[in-house]
Amino acid sequence: MSKSEGGRAMNIPWAKPYLDEAESKEINDCLRSGWYAMGPRVKQLEETVKKLVSVKQTVAVNSGTAALDVALKILGIKPGDEVIVPAMTYIATVNAVLYQCATPVFADIEEETYNISPADIEKKITKKTKCIIAIDYAGQGAAYNEIQKIAKKHKLYLIEDGAPGFGGKYQGRDLCTFGDIATTSFHMAKIFTTIEGGMVFTNNARYAEAARIIRSQGEDPHKKYFHPRLGHNYRMSDLHAAIGIAQLGRFAKILNKRKEIAGFYTEAMKNTGEIKLPAVRKGDASAWFLYPVLVNKRDKVRTYLAERGIATNVSWPMPVYRQKFYQAYKHKIAPVAERVTKSVLCLPLYYEMTGDEQNYVVETLIKAVKEA
């Protein structure tokens, strides 16, 4: 806890799920129902989300990482295949490629959206390339018009890792509906949460059927203890789904509030030359999972904020190929990702954030940047 200069005690997290009586009620109803593992509530969550994002098939799983693993398995990605991934992403995107014993190939990111660069994807395609994974950094869609064209031209699969994107739109179309298969995460830091959880989205009924089989030990969903293929235990529980069902009731409200806070940040800092603000492509609606700014001496600025009760998030501190484990993989330097990971700082953003807290973040950040 720290005091602002006006004497207010501040303890501002970078993210905070919005949970209240609605979640308690759904959890209690689930507990009283006598069914807690994957069952009717998971089905209800899948059906509701399906309508929300206008996709034909949704399959709930127990994490965004599981969703990515399922997606790559459905598409038959195998050892020796190359999968093009953004150099700047959460490690889960790339780990899922290694789970298939396939080879991740890192493409650089765009200067403005920090999403995978279509021009660099083209440069990274070889005879072994089978798939592209794009993420929706901070809640904004990757350049799907261009990426889809590349995928089509080179006959590559496309996966949208929409872990940060759920709730956003790219050129009017809902995120988590792009590519052959899209995935998301419902981890507790996300805008919409089941605490831990994830989902697979597709318009292909065969893929959805395969996802249901893989998530439940490879079992035929219509024939208990018959296993046509290898699978995992990636099932979401009904208790987790109950939380999601409660969240869905106020998802629009949550999205609006995040947009409002992002709008406030942008307006309040638009004239501060030293802070690079996030740019949203014309025609897009970011889900505002994160509000990423670029600042010099990021770590110093971050410490200054932390000492004054403001938590921030660094998504992410280095390109994935610099992580110890990934250094064994051949890679080319991604100059934009190198630069952005050195200066990116994601500001606090959550539903219950007060006007006072928002003002305090802006005032303190401006001071931090001046003093750094």
The amino acid sitting at 1 is M
Task: Tell me how far CA of residue 34 lies from CA of 40, 142, 194, in angstroms.
Answer: 11, 42, 19
Q: Which of 57, 63, 358, 364 binds ligand PLP (CB under 6 A)?
A: 63
Using the minimum distance from each CB to ligand PLP, give the nearer residue, 159 or 293. Answer: 159
Residue 163 interacts with ligand PLP (CB under 6 A): yes or no: yes
Rg (CA), the chain: 21
Q: Which of 124, 169, 187, 308 binds ligand PLP (CB under 6 A)?
A: 187
Give least dist CB 316 to ligand PLP, A. Answer: 9
Using the minimum distance from each CB to ligand PLP, give the nearer residue, 68 or 275. Answer: 68
- The answer to whether the CB of 175 falls within 8 A of the CB of 55 is no
- With contacts defined by CB under 6 A, name the span among 18-26, 157-165, 298-306, 337-345 that binds ligand PLP: 157-165
DSSP calls for 283-309: T-B---S-EEEE-TTHHHHHHHHHHTT
Cis peptide before 316 (omega within 30 of 0): yes
Q: Which of 118, 139, 141, 198 binds ligand PLP (CB under 6 A)?
A: 198
**Cα–Cα distance measured from residue 31 to residue 79, given in angstroms and rounded to the nearest whole number:** 43
Residue 115 interacts with ligand PLP (CB under 6 A): yes or no: no
Between vectors from CA 94 to CA 78 and to CA 278, what angle results, nearest 5°? 140
- The answer to whether the CB of 49 falls within 8 A of the CB of 199 is yes
Residue 196 CB contacts under 8 Å (≥ 6 apart), including other chains: 62, 63, 186, 187, 188, 240
Residue 168 interacts with ligand PLP (CB under 6 A): yes or no: no
- The answer to whether the CB of 369 falls within 8 A of the CB of 275 is yes
Give least dist CB 364 to ligand PLP, A. Answer: 26
Give least dist CB 115 to ligand PLP, A. Answer: 11
- With contacts defined by CB under 6 A, name the span among 26-34, 87-95, 296-304, 341-349 that binds ligand PLP: 87-95
Binding mask 117-136 for ligand PLP (x = CB under 6 A): ------------------x-
Give least dist CB 196 to ligand PLP, A. Answer: 6
Using the minimum distance from each CB to ligand PLP, give the nearer residue, 116 or 368. Answer: 116
Query: b/e for 272-294, b at 16 or more Cβ within 10 A?
Result: bebbbbbebbeebbbbbbbbbbb
Residue 194 interacts with ligand PLP (CB under 6 A): yes or no: no
| Footprint of ligand PLP (CB under 6 A) | 63-65, 89-90, 92-93, 135, 161, 163-164, 185, 187, 198
